[in-house]
Structure 1
Amino acid sequence: MKMKKILLPIVLVLLMLQSCTTKKEMLYLQDLDMYSNSNLNYASPKIQPNDILKIDIGDINPVVAAPFNVNPASTNGQTSVEMMKLSGYLVTPQGNIMMPILNEVKVGGLTPANAEIKIKERLINEGYLINPTVQVRVLNNKFTILGEVNAPGVISFSEESISLLDAIGLAKDLTYSAIRKDIKLIREVDGKRLVYHIDLTTASWMSNPNFRIRQNDVIVVEPNKLKVNSGGLIKDPIQVLGITASLLAVILLIVK
């Protein structure tokens, strides 16, 4: 009887801890309704050193535009992204690319849209084309995600930028041991390293354009204290609490 009195409060505490952890630390965007109909803000990423660019130049007369284009080899009429990367324009540490006829063009620090304008102006002002079309696209967009996700690693994406939730989805979601209130986003901008801290349990960050994932971003998801203290042996702390509570409940029944 004495053991029952001791074990019963322990079981209740464990069940309460399991419930509290699930609601306060596990759920995403708990106040999402508060930010419904909020404005979306986008910021176009800037071209960085080591980016690989695909640049297409067109004209009413394709023949006069042809010398300005680099055409990658194709297989069965289709060109793979990897082949385009090999023939693309690599941005130097100084932010320059080397184009046919135009030679050196500085694009580092520009958005792809601004790079298009700059190349178009040079083609017109230097008398090469009268009314050209220019398209600039970054081919090697990727981000790195490390820590408490189900599929960590380097992940490629084809869009100009993606949301943080998209990135987590590509990494097969966070593990149960992940700290959702302090996701670290590391980014290099203009030679400086910036670190952002994001709380996924609230939706307050979603309208901030800085929190969209860009080329070369690094996302770090830290483990909670339970996993750290266990040396990583505990994969699912909520499940451990549930099993412990269940075992103590069985012991109570046996004692009774």
Structure 2
Amino acid sequence: MRRLLILWFASVLLASCSNKQDQYLFERKEAAADIKPADTIANITNYHIRPQDILQITNVQNNRSIIDQQAGAGSAQAGQSLQTTGENGNNNYTVDDDGTIGLPALGRIQIAGLTRTEARKRIEDLYGKELKHPLLEVKIVNLKVTVAGEVKSPGNVPLVKDRTTLIEVIGEAGGLTEKANEKMVKIIRTNQHAKVDKLDLSNINTLSDSRIFVQNDDIIYVLQNKKAVRNNNLQNLSLVIQPFLLLVNTALIIYTFARR
């Protein structure tokens, strides 16, 4: 009986101390019926601005904030006199609940419902009535995705460009852990009634799948691989059985001494 107990403990110990499993990313090449062309994805390019979004508006020609047209200043003078006029002394502007933002010399303008490109064009057109060929850059700086599960640095990852892929987001999160299941990565699309896309990162064809482009407020969850799940189950089982085994082992010791 004691030998059996020793063997059982040894098997649990070996199972819990398994070697690191290598990740096999993009090694397989299999056709998938549900893969869609990359140009069909709804990504940040056609994201429509909403209330409470934060816009960063910069004058590209002068690497400063948007134009501060002083009272009585001519167009040429205004073009050379740029001030940092955003909220709290920077060039960020929050979209109000009514869908407007307040801009220097323009007042409040309706911006909600427009894409980033449409918003830039509208603002340039409005400033263009006073200035010659204004060149602005508009970014939406509050967009993000949330990464959880088997990545090294889970948390929120900002979306700093229009077309950001799942691979880039996982890279920003430190990459996959040794427990990650590269064949089962879930993207929960909260903007699409909690639609769930499952991607296989071991298949190189996934790189051409439109679903690999992330969207604002996506939740990316990397599941554990089978070995990690099995080890966790064994560890949980050992925690449950350990008190019972301790009791049995104590009874065997008492019984052995009693027979002497």
TM range (shorter): 0.5 to 0.7
Cα 1:210–1:89, aligned 2, differ >3 Å: closer, same or farther? farther
1:28 aligned onto 2:29? no
The equivalent of 1:171 in structure 2 is 173
CA, structure 1 residues 28+114, in 2 after alignment: closer, same or farther (shift >3 Å)? Answer: same
Q: Classify 1:213/1:68 alpha carbon distance in 2 versus 1 (closer, same or farther; 3 Å).
A: farther
Task: Give me the whole-angstrom Cα distance separating, in 2, the residues matched to 1:27 and 1:223.
Answer: 14
1:150-189 paired onto structure 2 within 5 Å:
150-156=152-158, 158-189=160-191
Deviations 1:130-186 (A, max 9, x none): 532222012334321101112111233533342211111122222232232231213
SS of the equivalent of 1:151 reads coil
Aligned to 1:206: 207
Mapped pair 1:104 → 2:108? yes
Work out the CA distance in 1 between the residues paired with 2:119 and 2:94. 14
Q: Distance in 2 between matches of 1:162 and 1:31?
A: 23
Matches within 5 A, 1:216-255: 216-225=217-226, 226-227=228-229, 230=232
Per-residue deviation at 1:105? 2.8
1:14 aligned partner: none
Among 82, 88, 92, the residue aligned to 2:92: 88
Q: 1: CA distance between counterparts of 2:113 and 2:195?
A: 16
- What is the aligned length? 202
Following the alignment from structure 2 to structure 1, what is the Cα–Cα distance between the partners of residues 173 and 140? Answer: 22
Q: SS where residue 169 of structure 2 aligns?
A: helix
Q: Secondary structure at the match of 2:57?
A: strand
Query: Residue 220 of structure 1 aligns to a residue in which SS?
Result: strand
Report the Cα offset of residue 67 of structure 1: 7.7
Residue 253 of structure 1 corresponds to none
Give the whole-Å Cα distance in 2 for the aligned partners of 1:108 and 1:188. 20
Structure 1 gaps, min length 5? 1-17, 74-82, 235-256
**TM-score, scaled to structure 1:** 0.59
- Please give the alpha-carbon distance, in whole angstroms, between the structure 1 residues aligned to 2:84 and 2:234: 52
Look up the match of 1:128: 130
The question of whether the paired residues in 1 share the 8 Å contact of 2:86 and 2:93 is answered with no
Aligned to 2:78: 63
In structure 2, the gaps of 5 or more residues are 1-17, 32-36, 62-66, 68-74, 237-260
TM-score for both structures, normalised by structure 2: 0.58
- Structure with higher Rg: it is 2
TM-align CA RMSD: 4.4
Q: Percent of pairs identical after alignment?
A: 25
Q: CA deviation at 1:199?
A: 1.5
Check conservation: 1:45, 1:111, Cα contact below 8 A: yes
Structure 1 stretch displaced more, 56-65 or 113-122: 56-65
Counterpart contact for 1:183–1:220, Cα < 8 Å: yes
